[in-house]
Amino acid sequence: MSTRHFIMALAAMGALAAPSPKADVYSLDSCRRMALTNNKEMMVKAEKVRQAGYMKKEAFAAYLPALDFAGGYTYNQKKLSIFDSDQLLPTKSFDLATQSYQFNVVTNPYTHEPILTPDGKPIPSEVALIPKEAMEYDIHNVFFGAVTLTQPIYMGGKIVAMNKLADINKEASLALQHNEAQNVIYAVDAAYWTVVSLHAKHELARSYVNLLDTLSRNVRLMLDQGVATRSDLLSVDVKLNEANVDLLKVENGLSLSRMALAQICGLPVDASMNVADEGCTEINPKADIATHYDMEQVYANRPDLQALELATRAAGQQKRVAMSDMLPNVALIGTYSFSNPNMFNGFKKRFDGAFSVGVMVKIPLWHWGGNYNKYRAAASDETIMKLQLQDAREKVELQVNQAAYKAQEAVKTYLMTETNLNKAQENLRSATLGFREGVMTADDVMAAQTAWLKAHSENIDAMIDVQLCDVYLSKSLGTLGY
């Protein structure tokens, strides 16, 4: 019996023991789609892409004029008074002789000279009274506000750098989203092919139990006929019990692997996850297994390297932002301020205001090297990112070569297990015929059955390993589609 016919027979047996026909069957592509839709980390990455879009709009808004309003209320305990008491002001009269205004002062009636006080000042003959209350202002309740318009003219290149930084951040978020999608697909494929592998091993374990059960019945008949010993029967029964225990373990492992796949796909863990490739007999690697790759193309395809390159560019823009702190800043400012009470036209308890326009210039002069050291730290950060990018490229090249070797080794191993499987199949057939003819013992048959089981198990592992190595190679090359 060929390997393909044997696995197809296992699949037919599995169909008889499978869950109810109502169980859903999922293909690899459908599992990938569900995982990409329901994965929480993918949701986080999608939200970060949206967040980067908002940050880009925020950075662009810095080019435009900003309009702000500020207002407030103040309660003052006391009134405002210009004088501390009533004020007496001297007056003047027009003198025809001098054709000018002269102070009205007390004069000597004989000499007509002004009479002076002891400190030498003339004594007014007439005064104007200004009561203290007349110069008091009620400022108990003061309302004030201002509307300010600010238009940046030159900010040292900071606004341009922040906009470029926002663009880079959005591109990096998209690259990280693509990288996470590949990680999710790789996890889905690993869980998917684990289910396929354990399903095949489950059917293999059932077939092995059936073989031992048949051998046990034959040995019992031979024991009754006196051509076998009880020791032969006990040896077979021990092997049969061990096979049943192994079958139970495989059944539990298969159930757990289905739960793991359901969890990755975003389904309830108790969902019935039958996969379409259960019982598959062929391997179809999608990645080209070559001995040499165009690494520049690989670097361009890898989203994680794209994110690192964008991070390096972002560090360069951060350096530009740090440099802007050492350059002059110029902005145009327009303000409309108002208050109640106001003093624009006498003291009035009502709202009134006025416009003002100006230019603000800020020139950094001396900060004890703080701004310069900030710039040097940003430059060091850019150098670090460049070194990390170079290191990542070297590791990716090593990863690609390792993945290619593993894929080649997996295919070779699979071909060798096919050969071993055919030999084990022929060996089991020969041992079974020899046992029936009495030229071979039950131990020989069990040894052949054990070799047959091992050959089939290794063949299943090799087939699944080819699929997983193919996916890993595609991921390493950055060509894993989704």
Listing DSSP states for 390-406 in one string gives: HHHHHHHHHHHHHHHHH
Say if residue 344's pLDDT is above 50. Answer: yes
Q: Is residue 45 domain-resident? A: yes
Same domain, 385 and 240: yes
| pLDDT, position 152 | 94
Give pLDDT, residue 287: 57
pLDDT of residue 149: 95
12 and 91 belong to one structural domain:
no
The CATH number of whichever domain residue 447 belongs to comes to 1.20.1600.10
The average pLDDT across 424-443 equals 86
Residue 144 has pLDDT above 50, yes or no: yes
Could you tell me the CA-to-CA distances from 189 to 30, 38, 107, 480 in Å, in that order? 11, 16, 118, 11
- CB atoms under 10 Å from CB of 427, counted, come to 17
Decide: pTM greater than 0.85: no
Number of structural domains the chain divides into: 2
Mean pLDDT, residues 393-421: 92
If asked whether residues 249 and 126 sit together in one domain, one would say no
C-alpha–C-alpha distance, residues 191 and 31, integer Å: 10
pLDDT of 372-394, one tens digit each? 999 999 999 999 999 999 999 99
Q: Which residue range forms the structural domain that includes residue 109?
A: 87-130
Residue 328 pLDDT exceeds 90: yes
Query: What is the chain's mean pLDDT, rounded?
Result: 87
- Give just the sign of the alpha carbon dihedral 163, 165, 166, 167: positive
In this structure, are 122 and 212 located in the same domain?
no
Looking at residue 337, its pLDDT comes to 94
Do residues 223 and 302 share a domain? yes
% of residues, the chain, pLDDT over 90: 57
Both 231 and 298 in one domain: the answer is yes
Helix axes 3-17, 370-436, angle to 10 degrees: 100
Query: Does residue 146 lie within any of the structural domains?
Result: no
Band the pLDDT of 270: cuts 50, 70, 90.
Answer: confident
Is the predicted pLDDT of residue 350 greater than 60, yes or no?
A: yes
Assess whether 322 and 431 both reside in one domain: yes
Q: pLDDT tens-digit profile of 209-228?
A: 998 898 888 888 888 887 67
Q: Domain check: are 123 and 237 in the same one? A: no
Report how far residue 396's alpha carbon sits from residue 389's, in angstroms, rounded to the nearest whole number.
10
Distance CA 211, CA 234 (A): 16
pLDDT band for position 184 (cuts 50, 70, 90): very high
Kindly calculate the radius of gyration of the chain based on its CA atoms and give it in whole angstroms.
47
Q: Which residues pair with 238 in a beta bridge?
A: none
Asked if pLDDT for residue 288 goes beyond 70, the answer is no
Tokens of 128: 């104007």
* Strands annotated E in 271-328: 274-275
Flag the least confident range among 38-42, 233-237, 249-253: 233-237
Residue 91 sits in the same domain as residue 170: no
Does residue 47 lie within any of the structural domains? yes
Residues 160 and 121 in one domain: no
Neighbours of 9 (CB within 10 A): 14
Are the CB atoms for 97 and 103 separated by under 8 Å?
Answer: no
* 342 located within any domain: no
458-469 pLDDT, tens digit per residue, is: 999 999 999 899
pLDDT tens digits, residue range 241-263? 998 999 999 999 999 999 999 99
pLDDT of residue 435: 82
Stronger pLDDT, 227 or 363, i.e. the higher one:
363
Q: Write the Ramachandran bin of 466: left for phi over 0, alpha for psi from -120 to 50, otherwise beta.
A: alpha
3-state secondary structure at position 100: strand
Q: What residues contact residue 25 under an 8 Å CB cut-off, 6+ apart?
A: 274, 275, 276
Angle between helix 158-224 and 40-61 (nearest 10): 170
The answer to whether 215 and 449 are in contact (CB under 8 A) is yes
